[in-house]
A and B are shown apart, each in its own frame.
Chain A
Amino acid sequence: MRRILSIGLAVVLLAGVVIALLRGHGSSHRTTTVHGVIGSEKEAFFADPAVRKAFARDGLTVEVDSAGSRQIATSVDLSRYDFAFPSSAPAADRIQQQRHVTARYAPFASPMAIATFQPIADLLAGAGVAKRQGPVWTFDVSRYLGLVARHTRWDRLPHNTAYPVRRDVLVSTTDPRSSNSAAMYLAIASYVANGDAVVRGAAEERRVLPTLTGLFVDQGYTDNTTEGPFADYLSLGMGKAPLVCVYEAQFVDAAVRNLLKAGMVLMYPTPTVQSRHTLIPFDDGGDRVGRLLTSDPELQRLAALHGFRTADPARFAAVTADHHVPVRTDLIDVVDTPSYDTLEHLLAGVAKAYG
């Protein structure tokens, strides 16, 4: 009896599907699934139901895998995907070269920033490294490199009662061997260590490498995705991570989601670099995703809500004003990242020091 019933149920179901197929045929309501590989810091954006809905309105379902941007440019099998969406322009350049693609979309960007806490900001202000201009904090990379060169410990900073910890003053980063945010941080430090000039050529690479190596290796173990240290920042606080290198977008996103606690401070390194999230399409599906991200007003609005800077600065300004995040709306001290090859040489040099 049960078996007859279940066969009957199956027939009804199948009939329903056939009717749906017939009705669906010829209508414009077709959904295309597009697969992409993205830098992990955009995972939350693509998982956002509002973003999925916005794509669905244009008949797209976007499925993504996340990976480190350097992995996307080097080790990920891109033939499985319709687009790649690394978090930096150099990684995108590399993918374009390898895959012989000319199209690219840069729908949003985010400058590198430093997440810290009020007592640490005050302490660094006393040491001449941090400065408050209006509501916005800046972080002087050149002076910071000076502290690092002298292996200055937190408990050796003058008048330090707030954070007397026997650790070197070091910005926490991710693993430079796998993660884009660490590579962007390296780009900033390399510019300053090179006498305020973008590093070019073997001689300059050799000159700045010893400075760069210590910034990473002396930290000891580092996480391999940008979520790791920022999650520690949000949940564990000052003890674990007094200074964390982040994308500005991560901090703004946390503010929008109401995850920031009192005393959490965003600082802008001077100079800084922009992480330009760049989409490389491999076929029509990928191209549609790139076009929509760049031109669809709803997707641009959602990107701003996730903390990214989009083509229209007013959107980002509105989001940060709504959520009272003191950001630097006009980024002035932005420098270029080194070329892909130079960046790779520097990262390889640092990787070698890990042994």
Chain B
Amino acid sequence: MRTWRLAAVAGALSLVAACTGGGDGDSGGRGGTVRILAGSELADMRPILDQAEKDIGVTVKVDYTGTLAGVQQVLDGSAGRGHDAIWFSSNRYLALHPAAQSRLGPSVKIMSSPVLLGLRASAAHRLGWDRTRPTWAAISAAAAAGKFTYGMTNPVSSNSGFSALVGVAAALSGTGSALDAPAVERVAPSLRGFFSAQRITSGSSGWLSDTYAADPGRADGLVNYESVLLTLNAAHRLPEPLTLVYPADGVVTADYPLTRLSSASQRASEALRSLTDYLRRPAVQRRVMTLTHRRPAVPEVRPGAEFGAQPPELPFPARPEAADALIDAYFNRLRRPARTVYVLDVSGSMRGARLAALKAALAALTGADTSLSGRFQRFHDREQVTLLPFSSTPRRPATYVLPATGSAATLARIRADTEKLTAGGSTAIYESLEQAYSAIGTSSATDRITSIVLMSDGESNQGDSFADFRSWYGRQPLALRRIPVFAILFGESATSEMNALAALTRGRTFDARLQSLSAVFGEIRGYQ
């Protein structure tokens, strides 16, 4: 207990300090500051948060991260160092882990968006799905029969992919209760049919949407949040708008719970409460709806006409082993397997710590990393991996195909061969890259989801220049040109050239100068 007089004295003193310019410390303003660890897709809320600062004086600092990385940070407690709250599309996967219970405080839902199938209008019309809502079983059957193709995010890197995986599995199981591990086994054959139509994968919903918009010929549509599909349509970025297909038997909906971390201070908690109250004001909810195309979370605001009737919600597994069995099945048995060529710089400048970091990053993908992310990011069964080391010229590529079961021996072989890498010579990036494309060839370019990873710590100083590569690339058949290059910025990489290379091949750059090479290799797994 304290009396108001004490508070008044403290207040007067701080006013004195402020007036005389002595208050350099944590002033924060009356509204305070909230530091949030958020999913990358919430970057679109920045204008709303800036307005919140003007309206209620609460400063909101946001760090963005991927879904799996966020889960990991909450579970190991590092999210609480430097953050007061988390804000992801859903807490469901996180909450499956018993360790999460003590880390999380109360949460408030801010908006919602179901995960749907968006198909180009002509494809949706051809399938009749613009007139009646199909069930997931009908959608899966059409996918298995090759009647449409789609892009979807990676279920461990991104919530939209995981929601789709859970939704289609729950609907196909037909039991009406939450999935358990045996149900995952039962639905595996139908799921394989559904995933046979997947053409694009991605580590984030945003990259998936951008990639699709840049080359809509690659697939007939996307599995993504309703909000992402509506945003694509509203921006008129596609030659043909997407028809939103609401599966009749239900969806999994992202509900964006803004969640206090139990480690948050009293002051931060109060600021957070002001912020959540603000975000749920009807006027703000209307602005969020218009700006982001997500559905409002308060009953005072009616969803606009662009939203279809809310489909039933499918149950989300309550047991961690059911979710993990589903994810394992997806990677090792259900999805179209990945083919990746790792183009790896082992020139003289890589000697020492850099080469060691590269070896450690590759070893983590062969099962050496036993953490949550390591488990889901290792090379999966049926996957094809090619290591193409290079220096003055490309060295001899080594290709490994992991068997459908019992992949330990192959993983050990990859690890052993990686250990033997030695550094020396100069850097022939583009000649090696051309070699990578040629190694993939055109004959089998579509039976897997194929991509190239380029890791170099410097500029190309041998053989073809980037301009040479650009013209070489322009002469390749479309199937090869659709293989993206994921370029890693490391050491003295030529940043602008790597960005241009990623733009040319519709890949992405990843920065290993601010985080470890292992972390970046892991992140790229979401795109393979």
Contacts and interface: CB of A to CB of B under 8 A. Distances in A.
B20 A10 contact: yes
Contacts, number: 152
Q: Which of B95, B257, B309 has the most CB of A within 10 A?
A: B95
Contact of A7 (B20, B174, B297, B310): B20
Q: Which of B4, B174, B249 has the most CB of A within 10 A?
A: B4
Contacts of B176: 151, 153-154, 166-168
Given A21-B5, A236-B112, A14 B95 contact: no
Contacts of A24: 4-5
A297 B19 CA distance: 45
Contacts of B107: 223-225, 228
B318 A31 contact: no
B16 interface: yes
Given A30-B4, A167-B250, A355-B321, A235 B298 contact: yes
B157 to A, nearest CB: 20
Interface in B1-17: 1-5, 8-9, 11-12, 15-16
B3 A166 contact: no
B317 interface: yes
B470 interface: no
B315 A221 contact: yes
Interface in B62-76: none
B252 to A, nearest CB: 10
15 contacts: A3-B21, A20-B8, A30-B4, A32-B1, A32-B3, A151-B177, A166-B176, A167-B315, A168-B177, A219-B318, A220-B179, A220-B317, A221-B95, A224-B106, A235-B296
A15 B130 CA distance: 73
Interface string B4-45: 110011011001100111000000000000000000000000
Given A235-B299, A355-B321, A6 B249 contact: no
Interface of A: 3, 6-7, 9-10, 13-14, 17, 20-21, 24, 30-34, 40, 65-67, 75, 82, 151, 153-154, 165-168, 170, 175, 177-178, 214, 216-225, 227-228, 231-232, 234-237, 239-241, 254, 259, 261, 283, 285, 354-355
Contact of A355 (B4, B109, B310, B320): B320
Contact of B21 (A6, A40, A224): A6
A178 to B, nearest CB: 7
Contacts of B106: 40, 66-67, 224-225
Q: Which of A175, A220, A239, A241 has the most CB of B within 10 A?
A: A220
Interface in B168-226: 171, 174-179
Given A10-B15, A217-B178, A355-B320, A240 B9 contact: no
B101 A178 contact: yes
A151 B106 CA distance: 32
A13 B11 CA distance: 10
A300 B4 CA distance: 26
Contacts of B95: 175, 221, 224
Contacts of A14: 12, 15-16
Contacts of A239: 250, 309-313
Contacts of B295: 235-236
A67 B176 CA distance: 32
A219 B315 contact: yes
B1 A285 contact: yes
Contact of A31 (B4, B20, B296, B309): B4
B253 A240 contact: yes
Nearest to B2: A33
Given A166-B176, A217-B319, A224-B106, 15 more contacts: A17-B8, A34-B1, A166-B174, A167-B312, A217-B178, A220-B318, A225-B107, A235-B296, A235-B299, A239-B311, A239-B313, A240-B310, A241-B313, A259-B300, A354-B318
A234 B299 contact: yes
B20 A6 contact: yes
Contacts of A151: 175-177
B103 interface: no
Contacts of B321: 355
B389 to A, nearest CB: 44
A62 B1 CA distance: 10
A82 B174 CA distance: 51
